Structure 1
């Protein structure tokens, strides 16, 4: 939430980088992932308002699915944008630099609209858990369950979701490979021109390395989560131990991402140092 506040401050009060808009959105998405990732704060809010358990479960499952889709789409967008940004002026991607910045808001609207409409099926199949003996329910959390889906529907949902995710992860891996090639080529050129073995990394290189790290972590964590989720839905079986492993994997990426962003962004480090020095001055 501190990171989200920083990005909002930068976007409102300063000249933000295009990646700041994407990072701000990704930070907000990860906060929502934590709030909807189980019987957490959002559930407590619903209970304090005396909201019906069915509505609570439908809302929680729906928002959780939307945020999961937004997370993979936004991470993919961040990878594509950085690949376009560092591409040489002679490459085919160079002509998309200004177009991507110009239409960034429209890209956001398309991504959000797609994720909200695609995840609408969760509303019909999620409900409050009532009885462990019910064979048409699969308990997922302490108070929520999923209605039994027809096998054909389950296979259809699995196929569409898999196709979407494989496509986006494929784009991430392609752009990541492209960025690695560009960075290696640039480093060889710098060493040849300046004959320096240890050169200070440029801001573009640091940003690219950060995004590469985020993409690698996301891909690894995502596929573990995907295998667990798809196996549970197709076999219609949710083991409590498997559910705990899935939650750990689901929280890993939102936990690592802000730490990587903070450590790699000099603006955040400088702001923290300034706040620390002002705090010390006020004390003494």
Structure 2
């Protein structure tokens, strides 16, 4: 057990460190290189996604890593509620911005395919509003849960506490579970389906364009085919990484919520999987955007 404890500690520390360095390096790059110019819509979405992932790592990865190394219950009740609030906001905004990024990329590739440049300009104008709406909406939605927990805490009904290692809070009940399912879980599932659909749509467009340029015997066409093949693979990696990690994380968190006597392994694996996409997402997106093909009307 000591060996596995040490292994979990090393994995948590490595994962958290890599996530902080990856997300902060991307944020630093955008803030320094585009400080005096307006960000492109794709870069703007990317920057907010990195900010949401950073919130997840700082509020979930760092406290749990500290607890794994022996610093237990170092946060009081109100600090614990604040940490959980930041976790939920970061997770919700991360899922929402990833979905927005996938949809915007699908629209961009579709418009380049059909040479509708005016539509691209129109769609880019709404990106800032959508991102601001995501932040404000999820900050308000997730504020319901700490307020409800505070009201319930002052009531006579005492529920079983949930121990996170670094802090503990009151357990959830049927009302909070229903609110969480309706306001958080259902939109996350909807965003996941939207992202999968838009990514499949991109792959279809890229495949059709690849077939259309196969008859053009030139060096440029062969390069485009290579770019399209790699772009399709990167999109598949992006979607599968996002959906697999978040789906597995949701399943494990659901098991923890339903089981009264969950074991040590289940808790630690749940924490590790929930941090996988926020920590390794920057590296996946780095390869994704370096391979998006430039589809022009001349090649169709």
Considering the TM-score relative to the shorter chain, is it more than 0.5?
yes
Does structure 2 retain, via aligned residues, the 8 Å contact 1:138–1:237?
no
Stretch moving more, 109-118 or 75-84: 109-118
User: Contact conserved, 1:83 with 1:179, CA < 8 A, in 2?
Assistant: yes
Contact 2:111 2:117 in 1 (8 A): yes
Aligned counterparts of 2:99 and 2:127: Cα–Cα separation in 1: 14
After the TM superposition, which of the residue ranges 82-91 and 241-250 deviates more from structure 2? 82-91
Per the normalisation by structure 1, the TM-score is: 0.76
Among residues 22, 25, 50, which one is paired with 1:27 in the alignment?
Answer: 50
Aligned equivalent of 2:169, options 126, 130, 146: 146
RMSD of aligned alpha carbons: 3.4
Question: Which residue of the other structure, out of 146, 153, 163, is the alignment partner of 2:186?
Answer: 163
Once the two structures are superposed, residues 181-217 of structure 1 have per-residue CA deviations (whole angstroms, 9 ceiling, x without a partner) of: 0010111111122367842568788667545432221
Local SS of the residue matching 1:191 = coil
Q: Which runs of 5+ in 1 are unaligned?
A: 45-50, 128-134, 267-284
Please name the residue that 2:143 is paired with: 120
- Higher relative CO (Cα under 8 Å, sequence separation at least 6) belongs to 2
Instruction: Determine if the alignment matches structure 1 residue 102 to structure 2 residue 125.
Output: yes
Contact 2:162–2:171 (Cα < 8 Å) also in 1: no
How far apart, CA to CA, are the structure 2 residues paired with 1:202 and 1:98? 28
**Does structure 1 retain, via aligned residues, the 8 Å contact 2:102–2:198?**
yes
Q: 1:66 aligns with which of 84, 89, 93?
A: 89
Structure 1 pair 157–32 and aligned structure 2 pair: CA distance change class (3 A): closer
Cα deviation for residue 151 of structure 1 reads 2.2
Are the aligned partners of 1:84 and 1:97 in contact in 2 as well (CA < 8 Å)? yes
Q: 1:159 to 1:230 in 2, by over 3 A?
A: farther
2:280 aligned partner: 256
Distance 1:94 1:81, change over 3 A: same
Query: Residue 180 and residue 174 in structure 1: after superposition, are their counterparts in 2 closer, same or farther (change >3 A)?
Result: same
8 A Cα contact 1:26 1:71, kept in partner: yes
Candidates 194, 207, 214, aligned match of 2:217:
194
| Shift in CA distance, 27/210, structure 1 to aligned 2, threshold 3 Å | farther
- 1:67 is displaced (CA, Å) by 0.2
